[in-house]
Structure 1
Amino acid sequence: MKTRDLIATAISNTFRNRLRTSLTALAIAIGAFTLSLTLAVNNGLNSYIDETIASVGSEDTLTVTKPTETVEDGIAKYDPDAASGMEAGAAAMSGSGSVELLTQDDMNTLRSIEGVSQVHTVRSVSVDYVQLQGSSDDDRWVLNISPGIPGVSLPLAAGEQPDLNSQDHQIVLPRDYVKTFGLENASELVGKTVELGVSDPTGTMETVTAKVVGVSDPVLTSSSATATLNTALTDAIYNVSAKGLPDDQKQRWATASVTVETEDGQSIEDAVSQVQQRLSDAGYRGQTINEILGQFRAFFDAILIMLVAFAAIALVAGSLGIINTLLMSVQERTREIGLLKALGLTSRRVFALFSLESIVIGALSAAVGIVIPAVAAPWINHALSNGPLADLPGLTLISFSPGIIAGVAALIIAIAFLAGTLPAARAAGKDPIEALRYE
């Protein structure tokens, strides 16, 4: 029997009992469906994180904090100079945990570290409310704010990035505030003046005005209600909230941003790694935007592992189904096997015949388990982007790639082949005379 005839016979034999074959293929197709969909979601999320890093982050920028001293079990010792309140919020955003406030001496130390070309202080500030200039007091809204950092850009829906070196007060508001202020689109908000209510240490409310230079789209690194300020506006808000404090108390910061310089022939990755090590030796922690977003990756990867485990259980159950189906087929076709061997079909060919049948079942399962989610993915992504994920523009949650499709298909077929080796070996090992006598 030629190889072509062997394949044709295997396909024909697979569909002798269509119901049994279909149920067996469906069992393993469920595992293929779960696995392919899980990998596609993971691919979509990681692609979105990579795009976010590329758009908002700079490879040569590090966010620097000074961790507090901890004992062996990780509990921090009390430090009167540790960041607290709104200063601690900036550290929390970078995943730094409890940190000490950076002083002017710390800034001088950072500037002296080899490989650091620029140091930018980052104050942590807050406001009580925001409103359009000239609007009534009933149109005041809560707003989270964050200082702009050199080298970090915002994904904009309209306008431009804040100029950190400008002496004018500039702010980039989140896209959510377009409708909040009763406007039609993001472009209408650009150029307007907003008033920010700030309380001084005595509780007296003061107003700081700022020009809206841009409207941002939300990203994973911040809340959808977080505005970004330039340095002049940040300092103005801080001066109000810190009014009356001694000058030495004002010269403290929760975080700093440093720019890494590279030498001739040195890659940016090596330069950043060396500076991070020098910062660590000096008692500081430096993180890139990629490392900060790595926390999101870790969370998504943990979910991925759980879903892959569920898919593995389904695949094991499906492979047992293949074994059972082919064993029953071998039992039912015992005399046929004996006749084929009597006519000269070798044991190797008999093994190949039943192995091909298992491969056909695996290919059918892979086709069902991969094609269905791949075809449905565009409609699902469209529904999600206009519904629960509307606040994350650019996120394609389910993203199939040729690698995912080919990898899952190859895995399912390999599992089916391995599951079919036991029935195939049993068929190949049958004695032709005994097989022909089988009733």
Structure 2
Amino acid sequence: MSNTYYRDEPVSPSFDRAPACPFDPAPEVTALRAEQPIARLAVPEGAPGVWLVTGYGLVRQILADPRFSSRYETQYYPLMGYLPPAPPGDLTGMDAPEHTRFRKMLTGKFTVRRMNLLTERVTEITRERLDAMERQGPPADLVEVFARPIPALMICELLGVPYEDREQFQTSTRTLSDAPDPDAQYAAFIDLGKYLQTLALDKRANPTDDLLSDLATGSDLTDEELGGVAAFLLGAGLDTTAHMLALGTFALLRNPAQLAALRDDPDLAAGAVEELLRHLSIAGNGMRGVLEDVELGGRQLKAGDTVILAINAANRDPAKFADPDVLDLGRSAAGHLAFGHGVHQCLGQQLARVEMRVAFPALLTRFPTLRLAVPAEEVPVRTDPSQIHGVRSLPVTWDRG
């Protein structure tokens, strides 16, 4: 085993992506992957050990190992310390047996078969958004008119949000996602939480044909847990897919040959989506708390330590993917970690896949001359490493038919 695993000097890499390369992981993190795929981070005196894991094999191993905990209170954040426990219904911050209980209730709601049945509705919503783009005419902000509305409306369908509430619902989710004012974001978070709690209780009394009603009438969830699950589903299914649609389109526009291949052959969509997920890895980092002493990659981790998982760097590991920095829609990206791995693998991944497999080819077919309306370097990219990676807006234009 390479002795680079055993370097004792703590490191302090920047997690900032290079401005000229908005699709790539932070260069200092990528460099660490080659030098020491598990590295000790510099932390304040007295803090527990914090490790950055960048190698594909090690990240995948941790995600499948129950000795590494998803509970927030086991994870030390170098800039803020420990977080409080997850609120009821937040599966991301749970371990077994609590996680198992919630996961079992939800898994049957997100099967490949059930998600594929939603393809018709995804297709209708996508067509409606493309019609709206065409009526508006160029230029347009693809985030506002296309990338955000599609997953937002699908979440409304899943949760059974009444039609008369959907416009305000989308406004609140937009504020929560992208408002520059933290106070406005927090207010939107509180408002959405209250709305979802009220909606969940209404589903108990007046169930309709939707996932939230199924949970309200067919599970032993408390009222608080039911509202929490609704909030979890909103958070898991909205921001990520919206940013994948926008950033994925940006990446295709910067790779004309790949864009043309997908536009000319929509049957490439399934593989193209997997490659875009791997290449962009918009949920860049994950965290786990170490529950017991464990040896990993030649390093001795102690109970109480924390590991930061650089998913975006792992998905660009040349030990797993040939020419990993190249966007190649023809490659097999099987095994990528964009949706995680193990018991916490994303529940809504099949819905996200359906949305992207429909939306990307439909957009490129309807607007074959689609292009950026501003120089690429002027596209406003999210720069906070703690956020889902993406663009704040994507100005595009096209030739009128």
With the shorter chain as reference, the TM-score category is under 0.3
Normalised TM-score (structure 2): 0.23
The higher radius of gyration belongs to 1
TM-score normalised per structure 1: 0.21
Higher strand share: 1
